[in-house]
Structure 1
């Protein structure tokens, strides 16, 4: 078997190391000993965008905010599902992840960052949400490991009652707040409903071949 090769690493603010690994043409982003994502498993991250896009049918020039660049699975799925008048802003906090997308993982991204519909923002998606009022047709979050995060305590603010109130305010009426998680979280579902969202929980397979682990996607709609 081909051994894993460590391509790069960065130490996050809490002292945990984020690593980019490669084995042949397979890539992995790991947080310490935990694999956050793998280039062979994109099903649930793609569904994060495609399920939200289904709910935006008929909207003119929809504006989407994606929290977390990762390996670009959600971004590419959104570009495929939406027409040429859409715009997709991707907020990525860790600059090295952007460097990996434009460097070692160029083949994985397949030129999607050069799509004219894409705006890449190096910074905190939470700050963009907090500064917005009825600005987005959809907010898609693939940040950390979901509401039960691994990488940053600051990410907890995205999933708190206050964070959900900000997301509700940032969405246009009828807008969709789509959240990826590695596992179900009934408490988060309750917080979404308490924040005024209409909520659907969608279990989704990690693999595009409908195999592998089950992940959870919340589709929370702002009424109106």
Structure 2
């Protein structure tokens, strides 16, 4: 019988102690659940990944063309990145992560999806702050190709547009900074973002100051702890052509 709990790794980071854990939860049957904690706060769990995957599928569904260059903001446990790579149109995927420990877990294959990401030559890990790179178009998200334009940017870092992983992230959610990020998109490029909450009208209105089209999608999934559905949301925005 597998152990019900194991701490795989724990290290100091610029944001505090970050840890990777594996556990078994009877409600989820005979499978391992991986989770990432920052201090006492849960950042990511493999219990519920439907919305993280939907960030890629919904975002990329709005992108036209092929040989796509795509950015994923926030590596987490890799679910958004792996879902993106299932789209055969992608030529390059740049996964931006601020914590080298999280990238290391994937490179060392301490998390299940690390093996998939490492084996795909289209995948590139980028160590850096999404918010700093996103508001610096002259530098941009691709370290070896400054000023590169992308077909899509998929963001999953903060809990919601109004609940931040780090208080410093709040300054990103303005017309000025969203426009700087949008400068890194090609014409008709797509920005998509995950949120743990239902769509917020105030954020939709903010997005409309930068993007030509804004749609919000509610993603439902079964939650055995509540014996019912839970919801997250994904915002999908299209830049003017």
Query: Shorter-chain-normalised TM-score: which range?
Result: 0.7 to 0.9
Deviation per residue, 1:130-186 (Å, 9 max, x gap):
224671110000113132344222322332222211122111111100001111332
Q: Which residue is 2:206 aligned to?
A: 191
CA shift in 2, pair 1:17/1:150, >3 Å: farther
User: Deviation at 1:20?
Assistant: 1.4
Aligned-residue Cα RMSD (Å) equals: 2.5
Q: Which residue is 2:48 aligned to?
A: 41
> What are the equivalent positions in structure 2 for 1:7-26 lying under 5 Å apart?
7-14=8-15, 16-24=16-24, 25-26=32-33
**8 Å CA contact 1:7, 1:21 repeated in 2:** yes
Tell me, which stretches of 5 or more residues in structure 2 are unaligned? 25-31, 141-146
> What are the equivalent positions in structure 2 for 1:80-95 lying under 5 Å apart?
80-83=86-89, 86-95=91-100
Q: Distance in 1 between matches of 2:114 and 2:166?
A: 25
Q: Which residue is 1:116 aligned to?
A: 121
User: Deviation at 1:110?
Assistant: 3.4
Report the 3-state secondary structure (helix = DSSP H, G, I; strand = E; otherwise coil) of the residue aligned with 2:157.
coil
1:96 maps onto 2:101 in alignment: yes
Q: Which residue is 1:178 aligned to?
A: 192
> What are the equivalent positions in structure 2 for 1:139-150 lying under 5 Å apart?
139-150=153-164
Q: Distance in 1 between matches of 2:236 and 2:20?
A: 30
**8 Å CA contact 2:106, 2:115 repeated in 1:** no
Of residues 205, 215, 240, the one that matches 1:200 is: 215
The structure richer in helix per residue is: 1
CA shift in 2, pair 1:147/1:12, >3 Å: farther
Q: Which residue is 1:5 aligned to?
A: 6
Q: Distance in 2 between matches of 1:162 and 1:207?
A: 38
Report the 3-state secondary structure (helix = DSSP H, G, I; strand = E; otherwise coil) of the residue aligned with 2:159.
coil
User: Deviation at 1:188?
Assistant: 1.4
Deviation per residue, 1:78-137 (Å, 9 max, x gap):
110233x52111110001111122336342333223311111111112233222467111
**8 Å CA contact 1:63, 1:86 repeated in 2:** yes
TM-score (norm 1): 0.87
Tell me, which stretches of 5 or more residues in structure 1 are unaligned? none
CA shift in 2, pair 1:200/1:154, >3 Å: same
1:67 maps onto 2:73 in alignment: yes
Higher gyration radius (CA): 2
